[in-house]
Amino acid sequence: MLSKFLHRYWIIPLSIFLGVYAGLPFLAPVFMHAGWVGAGKAIYFVYSWLCHQLPERSFFLFGPRFTYSLAEIQKVWQDTNNASILRQFIGSAELGWKVAWSDRMVSMFLSLWLWGIAWWLVRRRVKPLPWWGLVLLLAPMAVDGTSHFFSDLAGIGQGFRYSNLWLAVLTRHVFPATFYAGDAWGSFNSLMRLLTGILFGLGIVWYTYPYLNKIFTPLDQSQVIVDMSSQPRRADELSYEHKN
C-alpha cells in the first residue's frame, strides 16, 4: 500500500527532501540568533562544502539590513579581498546572521522546490519541455555564473562583474551607481542571480518532472487491458482459434 502510494504521489517525498535541503540554510541564522551557536555553526560547516558562502553575496536575517556591500563586510570583518577569509564571516548580533548559502543557491533551490509543487498542480495541462527549451532556460545562469567566475579571478571586488562598467556604458548610466556596482540587493548582479536561479529551477522541473511522473506513476488497469488487446496475436494463437 505504501509503495503504491509513493509511486503515485512521488512528488511528496521529493518535495519534502527539497524543502528540507533548501530550508536548512535558513535555520543557521535562526539558531545563531537564538543562541544555539553549535547547531548554527554545524549548518554553516555542512553547507560550506556546497557553496562559497561569500557574505557580500548572501542574505542576512535578524539585522537592520537584508544584504551588505563588500566594503561594509570588510569594515567589520577584515579588510581583505581573499575569498577564503571573507566566506568565514557568518554575521554578528549587530548586523544579523548570514543564511548558510549564497543568494544564487537560495534562488536555485527554493525555485526548484516551488516550481515542482506548481508543476504537480497543473501537470495534466502542461506539455513537457523540449530539450532546446531546457537549454534556453539554463543558458542565462551559465553565462552569468561563468562571467562571475572569470571576473573573480582578478580578485573579489576587482573584476569586471563587480563594477559592471560595460553595462553602464551600454545603458548610458541611466540607473544609479548602486545598480551597477557591487552585489547588494537591488544591484544588477543580485537581480541576475535571482532571475537566473528562477529560470534554472523552472527548466529543471519542467524538463525532468514529466519523465519522473512517467516512470513512477503506474498505469491504470483499464490502460493495461487496452494495450494488451491492441497487441497483434501470434500465428499459433490464430491457428488454434481456427481449429476450434
Q: Can you give the pLDDT at residue 3?
A: 73
Q: Is 169 part of a structural domain of the chain?
A: yes
Average pLDDT over residues 32-48: 97
| Residue 227 banded pLDDT, cuts 50, 70, 90 | very low
Q: Is 35 part of a structural domain of the chain?
A: yes
Q: Is 9 part of a structural domain of the chain?
A: yes
Q: What is the pLDDT of residues 81-103, one digit of tens each?
A: 999 999 999 999 999 999 999 99
Q: Is 136 part of a structural domain of the chain?
A: yes
CA-to-CA distance for 174 and 151, rounded, in angstroms?
A: 23
| Residue 7 banded pLDDT, cuts 50, 70, 90 | confident
Other beta carbons within 10 Å of 23: 12
| Residue 129 banded pLDDT, cuts 50, 70, 90 | very high
Q: Can you give the pLDDT at residue 241?
A: 52
Q: Can you give the pLDDT at residue 220?
A: 44
Q: Which residue has the higher pLDDT, 68 or 3?
A: 68
CA-to-CA distance for 72 and 183, rounded, in angstroms?
A: 12
Task: Assess whether pLDDT exceeds 80 at residue 208.
Answer: yes
Number of domains in the chain: 1
CA 218 to chain centre: 29
Other beta carbons within 10 Å of 14: 17
Average pLDDT over residues 103-122: 96
Domain coverage including residue 168? 2-219
Q: Could you tell me which residues come within 8 angstroms of residue 107 by beta carbon, excluding any fewer than 6 positions away?
A: 193, 194, 196, 197, 198, 200, 201
Q: Can you give the pLDDT at residue 5?
A: 73
| Residue 212 banded pLDDT, cuts 50, 70, 90 | very high
Q: Is 244 part of a structural domain of the chain?
A: no
Q: Is 46 part of a structural domain of the chain?
A: yes
Instruction: Output the average pLDDT for the chain.
Output: 89
| Residue 9 banded pLDDT, cuts 50, 70, 90 | confident
Task: Assess whether pLDDT exceeds 60 at residue 223.
Answer: no
Q: Is 232 part of a structural domain of the chain?
A: no
Task: Assess whether pLDDT exceeds 60 at residue 45.
Answer: yes
End-to-end CA distance of the chain: 43
Q: Give all strands of the β-sheet with 91-92 in edge-to-edge order.
A: 58-61, 96-102, 91-92
Q: Could you tell me which residues come within 8 angstroms of residue 30 by beta carbon, excluding any fewer than 6 positions away?
A: 40, 61
Average pLDDT over residues 202-217: 93
Q: Which residue stretches of the chain are H helix? A: 2-8, 11-34, 37-48, 70-76, 83-86, 103-122, 131-152, 160-163, 165-170, 177-180, 188-216, 221-229, 235-243
CA-to-CA distance for 150 and 163, rounded, in angstroms?
A: 14
Q: Can you give the pLDDT at residue 218?
A: 63
List the Cα angle 88/89/94 in 5-degree steps.
Answer: 160
| Residue 8 banded pLDDT, cuts 50, 70, 90 | confident
How many residues belong to the chain? 244
Q: Could you tell me which residues come within 8 angstroms of residue 53 by beta carbon, excluding any fewer than 6 positions away?
A: 44, 47, 87, 98, 100, 101, 102
Q: Is 196 part of a structural domain of the chain?
A: yes
pTM of this structure: 0.84
